């Protein structure tokens, strides 16, 4: 283990090690509530079923309020890379929740509470987003992992139960490891596999360069019916660059945030970089995801504040009025992590958005007690869903 990483890991829990002080406030940008305004309510969902393989996450997934104080929490079973799955859990917080995993089929979706059809065999879904479209239909987005396949798909449903993948051969996004992206450089010149795949079906098109992205993706339908999507671009740095951290699981690659827009949410042609490291950030600062909540004041962003040296993940507050220019006046953890005895000691990963309910803002988040690269943990590795609330998202007078 890298000595610097070992030192950081030993003191990271509860201390938010290495986080910079807030930079000066920007005129016209509202201020967020302080980190101590969040009240944590503990674990609300943990792995209990064999198909979850011991670990779950609601990273990028929405939580939806139901009647009688119940919730539907969308999530993924991620305990084994050989058995990824997506599901939702329904019930009142603090009580038993009914878990409904997706039943996936290559053909028509079966008649089940949650089913996905037209999904090729051995393609395993993860990181699901559900959107009730303005036309009344339902759509889900999710990443799939399969033999030489890592891509972002969309599936639609009339009843919110039986979904059909729109076109598995023409996904919304491609990961650089996908067979259709091999030999194709991303807009930043990233090409993990230089040779074309011999296993790509002849009728499957090659990935367009602008659709090659890392994972950790969030999608939203806007009031005018169009869509915006935030995903992670990769930029390469040399070994002698201070940003090169050898113990990262993607050493030499820097994660930044790109925004895409689309008329129909299926074909995203416009891509723009919106968050990347600047002079006010430390060399090991990367951005793992961007989750967005639309408010009357503008877009509140929860950006994945990844400190690569310490391998920790925090939620950083940011703000935008248009989705293009993002202000980061705080540059620290908006939600404090727990100490080494707590499930969220090493990292917190935000859901798709915050939910306003009962006069409070609700945050459901994935909590982990292990380093991002998996080389250190506080006890056996855990990944659970936790819950926190704040009376307001804004500072007094903000």
The residue ranges of every structural domain in the chain are 1-50+216-398, 61-171
| Calpha distance 263→268 (Å, rounded) | 8
Handedness of CA 76, 77, 78, 81 (dihedral sign): negative
Instruction: Read off the pLDDT of each residue in 210-238 and give the average, rounded to a whole number.
Output: 97
Greater confidence (78 vs 19) lies with 78
Q: What is the pLDDT of residues 300-326, one digit of tens each?
A: 999 999 999 999 999 999 999 999 999
Q: What is the pLDDT of residues 172-209, one digit of tens each?
A: 999 999 999 999 999 999 999 999 999 999 999 999 99
Strands 285-295 vs 298-307: parallel, antiparallel or unpaired:
antiparallel
Task: State residue 6's pLDDT score.
Answer: 39
Q: How far apart are alpha carbons 130 and 66 in whole angstroms?
A: 14
Are 63 and 364 in contact, with CB atoms under 8 Å apart? yes
Task: Say whether pLDDT at 115 is over 70.
Answer: yes
Rounded to an integer, the average pLDDT of 136-140 is: 98
The answer to whether residue 50 scores a pLDDT higher than 90 is yes
Confidence of residue 272 (pLDDT cuts 50, 70, 90): very high
- At 398, is the pLDDT very low, low, confident or very high (cuts 50, 70, 90)? low
Kindly tell me if the per-residue pLDDT of 27 is higher than 90: no
pLDDT of 338 strictly over 80: yes
% of the chain beyond a pLDDT of 70:
93
Backbone φ and ψ for 121, nearest 5 degrees, come out as -60, 140
Q: Which fold has domain 1-50+216-398?
A: Tachylectin-2; Chain A (2.115.10)
pTM over 0.85: yes
Range scoring the smallest mean pLDDT among 80-84, 141-145, 337-341: 80-84
| Neighbouring residues of 27: CB distance < 8 A, sequence distance ≥ 6 | none
Structure tokens at 101: 């995993």
Instruction: Quote the CA–CA distance of 259 and 268 in Å, as a whole number.
Output: 10
CA separation, residue 270 to residues 279, 326, 342 (Å): 27, 18, 41
Reported as a pLDDT band with limits 50, 70 and 90, residue 25 is low
Which of 255, 301, 277 is closest to 20 using CA atoms? 277
pLDDT digits (tens, 9 = 90+) for 360-395: 999 999 999 999 999 999 999 999 999 999 999 999
What does the alpha-carbon distance between residue 392 and residue 37 come to, in Å, rounded to a whole number? 8
Please give the DSSP secondary-structure letter assigned to residue 209. Answer: G
CB 56 within 8 Å of CB 97: no
Partners of 286 in the beta sheet? Answer: 306
Furthest C-alpha separation in the chain: 60
| CA-based end-to-end distance of the chain | 44
pLDDT, mean of residues 50-74: 97
Q: 12 pLDDT exceeds 50?
A: no
Over range 147-169, report the average pLDDT.
98
Round to whole Å and give the CA distance between 122 and 34.
45
Least confident among 6-10, 104-108, 264-268, 344-348: 6-10
Tell me how crowded residue 338 is: count the other CB atoms within 10 A of its CB.
18
Strands 360-368 and 383-390, by their bridges, are: antiparallel
């Amino acid at each position: 283990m890298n000595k610097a990483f070992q030192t950081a890991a030993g003191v990271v829990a509860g201390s938010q090690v290495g986080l910079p002080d807030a930079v000066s406030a920007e005129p016209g940008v509202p201020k967020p509530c302080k980190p101590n305004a969040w009240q944590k309510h503990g674990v609300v969902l943990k792995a209990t079923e064999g198909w979850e393989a011991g670990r779950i996450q609601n990273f990028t997934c929405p939580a939806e309020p139901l009647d009688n104080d119940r919730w539907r929490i969308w999530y993924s079973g991620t305990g084994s890379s050989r058995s990824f799955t997506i599901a939702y859990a329904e019930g009142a917080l603090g009580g038993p929740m009914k878990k409904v995993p997706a039943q996936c089929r290559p053909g028509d979706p079966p008649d089940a509470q949650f089913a996905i059809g037209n999904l090729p065999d051995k393609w395993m879904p993860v990181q699901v987003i559900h959107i009730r479209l303005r036309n009344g239909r339902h759509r889900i987005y999710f990443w799939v992992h399969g033999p030489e396949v890592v891509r972002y798909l969309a599936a639609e449903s009339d009843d919110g139960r039986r979904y059909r993948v729109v076109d598995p051969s023409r996904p919304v996004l491609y990961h650089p490891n996908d067979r259709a992206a091999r030999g194709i450089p991303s807009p930043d010149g990233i090409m993990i596999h230089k040779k074309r795949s011999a296993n790509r079906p002849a009728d499957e098109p090659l990935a367009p360069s602008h659709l090659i992205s890392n994972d950790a993706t969030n999608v939203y339908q806007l009031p005018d019916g169009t869509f915006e999507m935030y995903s992670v671009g990769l930029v390469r740095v040399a070994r002698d660059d201070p940003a090169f951290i050898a113990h990262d699981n993607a050493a030499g690659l820097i994660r930044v945030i790109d925004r895409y827009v689309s008329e129909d949410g299926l074909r995203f042609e416009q891509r723009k970089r919106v968050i990347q490291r600047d002079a006010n950030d430390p060399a090991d600062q990367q951005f793992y995801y961007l989750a967005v909540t639309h408010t009357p004041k503008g877009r509140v962003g929860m950006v994945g504040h990844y400190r690569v040296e310490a391998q920790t993940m925090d939620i950083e507050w940011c703000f935008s009025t248009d989705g293009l220019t993002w202000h980061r006046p705080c540059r620290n953890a908006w939600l404090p992590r727990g100490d080494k005895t707590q499930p969220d000691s090493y990292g917190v990963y935000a859901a798709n958005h915050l939910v306003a309910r009962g006069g409070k803002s609700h945050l459901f988040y994935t909590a982990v007690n292990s380093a991002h690269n998996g080389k250190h943990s506080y006890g056996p590795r855990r990944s659970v869903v936790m819950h926190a609330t704040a009376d307001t998202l804004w500072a007094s007078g903000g």
